[in-house]
Structure 1
Amino acid sequence: MGGSVMLVRTYVPSAPLSSHIDMFWHMEGYAPSHGKELTLPDGTVELVIDLRGSRNVLYDRYGRAIDLGAAIVCGPHSEPFAIDTSSGTSAIGIHFKPGGASPFLRAPLDELHNRHLDLELLWGAGANELRDELAEAGTPEARFRLLEARLLRRYDVRLAERHPAVSYALRLLDEPGEPLAIADLTGRIGMNPDRFLRLFKSEVGMTPKRYARLRRFQHVLGLLQAGGPADGAALAAACGYYDQSHFIKDFQAFAGRSPTGYRPAADRHPNHVVL
């Protein structure tokens, strides 16, 4: 941590925002000795605002730099990407629930899959105005209240109602263990498979099969963080993989490294890995 003190606050907004948002977060003083962190995918959307007004530099899975403004949207990802931590962090963000960003971004989430965008492209001048207001607010609590009020203004009720088939599928696919076969899933839903696929991709940002694989991958990270089985075969079995090679292949696809090479950053979410 380079001698710095990291302060992290979180806040769960009230309804109706709480139906779409997992939490607001606020981070100050994060200045690690390493210059980059790999961010592992979880299939959700993240909105990040640098309170200093600094530009955000990200790197895709091939190491190519992505130069963005101070307020950005990280679309629903199924690929890892890296963030620049060399200059420290002073930021506020929104972690949306799966499919929860649509009423605020007003864009089909499949168009944002594995993409990073300046928030200004979606919100216009309001994105920079929000950043300036948040920077001036001063305290995390004041910033949370301001962010909540601004999101309520942007809340599009017409896009807030998720299709019941997608809500039902998300509940089933979030259950731990071996993912439900998509044919079985569509059979339970009783909808034309092609129509269901289009609905799910538009509302969540990716196919149900890929989303199910990501949720299982996140279950693996949760077990690793909690001190779960160190043996690869035991870990694979605990997370519903039919064999260890399948487990390793999936882990490498989402983490860019093998399970034995996974080293989460200290004091961070298990999705953050030191580079």
Structure 2
Amino acid sequence: MEYVGHVPAPPLDRFVDDVYCLTGVPRHRWMTVPPMPSAHLFVNLSGPVRLRDSDPSVPPAVFADGWFMGVWTRRFHFEYPARVRLVGVHFKPWGMSPFVDLPAAELRDRWVPLDAVWQRSWDRIRNRVGDTAPATEALRVLEEELRSRLAEEPPRGLDLVRHAGGRLEASHGALSVGALTDAAGVSGNHLATQFKAQIGVTPKRMARIYRFARLIVSVDALRPVDWSELAQTAGYFDRAHFSREFTDFTGHTPAAYLALRRRFPPEKGFPPDNGPMPAD
């Protein structure tokens, strides 16, 4: 498949890591996605996509148009259609807040239909993009939609969360909550309340996800992997805790994950986040 993406121009870049267009025939239909430090918007322009939570008590879902997802704290699975045509947004963890009128907690670990959040937006985007518009045009249309949805005034508390979250991002989750609160000049309870309001998770949970993301990006499946060294560099100082969290987030032990990566290397041209993996 072809992945075309870029960082949007200001002011969107304060809230969005990238907008992208994904087209073509998938090499693998079912994929597993571990927790990553982002929220998502998917605008589906092809066949239905199936989503399945790793929590078996949550019923699966099928989307023919599009969906929003907040930050996930556990892995989930999705099935591509036979041919993919999709435009999407990787929001920063706090980045969805000024675009949607929903509490962040209602989007955490959930997928919500696009038109339930942005009414009639799928038809508008679909009519402008059609079946043949190039990726650059699809991304331009999506950016226009984002600009039209951006709140004139940021939600209360967003600036605090954006700055504290930016420090977590820069440190790959290595900063303690105490260091964040000292830098922000607020109490731990206040910071946690604002994080839950704007992201849906606490600063401590967000730091865990950033730490895990750093470790995953550091894995080079083409070389021998020293898991102890990678774990320590990422901030895991308890090997048993690292192993439990890794297995919980990916569904695989570190050794099984590495074997999977070696059997199914990422497609050329895709962002090297090592996040989504074939559901083996």
2:177 aligned partner: 182
The 3 A distance-change label for structure 1 pair 62 and 165 is: closer
Paired residue for 1:169? 164
Q: For 1:11-66, what per-residue CA distance to the aligned partner results, in whole angstroms no more than 9, with x for missing partners?
A: 2221111211111111111321x3311012213111111112x3221011045522
Q: Which residue of 2 aligns with 1:31?
A: 26
Q: Compute the RMSD of aligned alpha carbons.
A: 2.3
Question: SS where residue 88 of structure 2 aligns?
Answer: strand
TM-score, normalised with respect to structure 2: 0.86
Displacement after TM superposition at 1:90 (Å): 1.4
Change (3 A) 1:225 1:177: same
Number of positions where the alignment pairs a residue of Structure 1 with one of Structure 2: 268
Provide the residue aligned with 2:256 in structure 1.
Answer: 261
- Helix, strand or coil at the partner of 2:99: helix
Structure 2 Cα separation of the partners of residues 204 and 241 of structure 1: 24
CA distance in 1, matches of 2:140, 2:127: 15
Cα drift, residue 209 of structure 1: 0.7
1:1-275 equivalent positions in 2, closer than 5 A: 6-32=1-27, 34-52=28-46, 54-62=47-55, 64-85=59-80, 87-135=82-130, 138-159=133-154, 163-176=158-171, 179-225=174-220, 230-262=225-257, 263-264=260-261, 265=264, 266-267=266-267, 268=270, 269-275=273-279
Paired amino acid for 2:163: Y
Q: Structure 1's 213 and 128: CA in aligned 2 closer, same or farther, altered over 3 A?
A: same
1:50–1:225 Cα change, 3 Å = farther
1:173-223 deviation digits (Å, cap 9, x = unpaired): 224467333234324433132222111111122111110000000000111
| 1:256 shift after superposition | 2.0
How many percent identity over aligned positions?
26
Aligned-pair CA distance for 1:137: 6.3
Q: Which amino acid aligns with 1:145?
A: R
Mapped to 2, the partners of 1:271 and 1:70 lie a distance apart of 24
In structure 2, give the amino acid aligned to 1:155: L
User: Match of 2:153, SS?
Assistant: helix
Aligned-pair distance for 1:69? 3.3
Q: Which moved more, 1:35-44 or 1:262-271?
A: 262-271
Query: Equivalent residue of 2:4, what SS?
Result: strand
Return the alpha-carbon distance in structure 1 between the equivalents of residues 183 and 223 of structure 2: 32
Q: 1:98-156: per-residue Cα shift (whole Å, max 9, x none)?
A: 21111212222222100001111111122332233222561111111111222211111
Letter in 1 for 2:168: L
Return closer, same or farther for 1:127/1:161 CA change in 2, 3 Å cut-off.
Answer: farther
Q: Equivalent residue of 2:98, what SS? A: helix
* TM-score, with structure 1 as normaliser: 0.88
Distance in 2, Cα, partners of 1:37 & 1:118: 20
Letter paired with 1:273: M
Q: Decide whether the 8 Å contact of 2:94 with 2:161 is kept in 1.
A: no
Contact 1:232 1:244 in 2 (8 A): no
Structure 1 residues 177 and 68, CA, compared in 2 at 3 Å: closer, same or farther? closer
Letter in 2 for 1:271: G
CA distance 1:116–1:90, shift in 2 (3 Å) = same
Amino acid paired to 1:60? D
